[in-house]
Amino acid sequence: MNNAERKMKRRRGQSALVLSALCACLLMLIVLNLAIGDENIGLWDVMKSLAGQGDAGVRFLVMEFRMPRILLAVLAGGALSIAGVVAQSLMKNPLAAPDTLGITGGAGLGAVIVTVLFSQQSPLLLTGAAFSGSVLAAALVYLLAYRNGISPVRLALVGIAVNAFCHSGIQLLISRGSPNVNNALIWLNGSLWGRDWDDVLSLFIWCCLVIPPIWFAAKPLDIIKSGDGIAVGLGIRLERTRFLLLAGAVLLTAVAVTAVGTIGFIGLMAPHIARKLAGTETRILIPVSALVGGIVLLIADAAGRGLVPPLEIPAGLIAAIIGGPYFIYLLRREARQGRA
């Protein structure tokens, strides 16, 4: 066995260890989250409820109220994180993410427009509106940031501006006093409150449709990260591959925002944490980022429910408190590297 094979075997072993540790951490957080709320439940009672035993009232609370929001947090965090991996890899930009590129704000604005204007909304209509809004926002960011090329810092600043514009539109729609304003506030705050199994099933189906093709495109994505010339020389249809992968990232963002609202910074933080844990190989980076994103959103949701019960702080606000300083750190680091 030569050195290259030994390194590859060692790297695969490390990746398997990281994935196993993250899965164990995720399962532990799921159980803890089931116990946390305005009415705390003992861990033993939670375990009995998961086994279909114990008090019927506790079992109903665990399985019908808390379990759907927890699974939705895992799915939404994973979807936003994978969208962040795709955006950062395709643009070779560590500041790229669904929220810094305006995709999250555009998706939220599209969903709020449908929520406010129509008293009855089908999941397909909401997803279509969120997808359309995210596509328009991403296109606007690209057009405004392009000046003989794309600067990472300029792209991030323009994305923040477009995101702020979209949130202003959300606030304007809410201020009109529509009868559906309470539903619209979900998109502004990024809350997991009141979710049910239908929401989980819808997001799960979309994730099953979109994530596998992105994962199977991991090798072309690694080649694209090495340079456009190398990718073209190896026979990759560059523009087509970029378009399809970006469309997948936009769709993942749209369905996540449709399910849980505009939760920011998950797609920015999780890929960076995953690279520290498992390296840059996209085939490994995608599942590790998804697990990290689910864990971060679970922590944010648990903090929002457990800090000042019975008051519930939306998970989106907790995520912003965590992610805002981290984004400033990345922005300053990129600015210093640009000057260097």
Distance CA 247, CA 164 (A): 22
Collect all residues with Cβ–Cβ distance below 8 Å to 265 and sequence separation of at least 6.
Answer: 97, 99, 319, 320, 322, 323, 324, 326, 327
Reading the chain (340 residues) residue by residue, the pLDDT tens digits are 566 667 767 777 788 899 999 999 999 999 998 988 777 888 888 888 888 887 888 888 888 888 999 999 999 999 999 999 998 888 788 878 888 788 888 888 888 888 777 766 677 787 788 888 888 988 888 888 877 766 667 777 888 889 888 888 887 877 765 666 666 666 567 778 778 898 899 899 999 999 999 999 988 888 888 777 787 787 788 778 888 888 898 889 888 888 888 888 899 899 999 998 888 889 999 999 999 999 999 999 888 887 877 778 888 888 888 888 887 887 787 777 664 4
The answer to whether 273 and 18 are in contact (CB under 8 A) is no
Phi then psi dihedrals of residue 154, to 5 deg: -65, -40
Collect all residues with Cβ–Cβ distance below 8 Å to 229 and sequence separation of at least 6.
Answer: none
What pLDDT, on a 0 to 100 scale, did the predictor assign at position 149? 62
Count the neighbouring beta carbons within 10 Å of the beta carbon of residue 308. Answer: 9
**Using CA of residue 250, residue 251, residue 252, residue 253, what is the dihedral sign?**
positive
Q: Determine the 3-state secondary structure of 3 from DSSP.
A: helix
What pLDDT, on a 0 to 100 scale, did the predictor assign at position 81? 95
Task: Find the DSSP H helices in 118-265.
Answer: 123-145, 152-175, 181-189, 197-216, 218-226, 228-233, 238-260
For 227, which DSSP code? -
pTM listed for this prediction: 0.88
Distance CA 174, CA 22 (A): 39
Distance CA 290, CA 85 (A): 9
Phi then psi dihedrals of residue 159, to 5 deg: -60, -40
**Using CA of residue 121, residue 78, residue 318, residue 70, what is the dihedral sign?**
positive
Distance CA 96, CA 334 (A): 12
Phi then psi dihedrals of residue 314, to 5 deg: -55, 140
The answer to whether 69 and 297 are in contact (CB under 8 A) is no
What pLDDT, on a 0 to 100 scale, did the predictor assign at position 1? 55
Q: Determine the 3-state secondary structure of 279 from DSSP.
A: coil
**Using CA of residue 168, residue 296, residue 254, residue 88, what is the dihedral sign?**
positive
∠ CA 318-160-333, rounded to 5°: 85
List, as one string, the DSSP characters of 19-50.
HHHHHHHHHHHHHHHHH-SSS---HHHHHHHH
The set of long-range contacts for 329-333, using a CB threshold of 8 Å and a minimum separation of 24, is 330/94, 330/95, 330/268, 330/272, 331/95, 331/153, 331/156
What pLDDT, on a 0 to 100 scale, did the predictor assign at position 339? 47
